Amino acid sequence: MRERAIKAIKPAAILLAAGFAYFILHELTGLSLFCPIYRFLGLYCPGCGVSRMCVHLLHGEIGSAFSSNCAVFCLLPIGMTIWLIHTYRYIRYGETKYTRFENIVLCTMIGLLVIFGIVRNIWHFDILIP
């Protein structure tokens, strides 16, 4: 069980460390990542504004975080819950497959993000632009 815990938590720890390093770099220099899809195609992808959203969340600015990327902001707690439940089951019982319910939720989240990416590029929905 200990090996599974290390195997499950290591990627999350690396991602968390990279995010923290990005936050420190952003705070010290003001540099931020750019979206290659927006830069080269002029379209906002479903992920545009996520790094800005995370910086706002770390500053405790909930409203600004929501306006940076409202779809990811709303779906993040659901995704984190699915990840935590799946990680717990893997560590405790060694199960690696997602349940049918988890697959449905994850596919729905992906569908919502695709729709969000399309809708935020329609001129009537300028409020969704980060």
pLDDT in tens, 69-110: 999 999 999 999 999 999 999 998 988 899 999 999 999 999
- How many residues are listed for the chain in this entry? 130
State residue 95's pLDDT score.
87
pTM: 0.84
Structural domain total, the chain: 1
More confident residue, 108 or 12: 108
State residue 40's pLDDT score.
92
Domain that holds residue 44: 2-128
Contacts 24+ apart (CB under 8 A), 80-85: 82/106
Contacts 24+ apart (CB under 8 A), 117-125: 117/44, 117/45, 117/46, 120/44, 120/46, 120/48, 121/43, 121/44
Q: Cβ distance 19 to 54 under 8 Å?
A: yes
State residue 102's pLDDT score.
94
State residue 35's pLDDT score.
86
d(CA 65, CA 93): 36
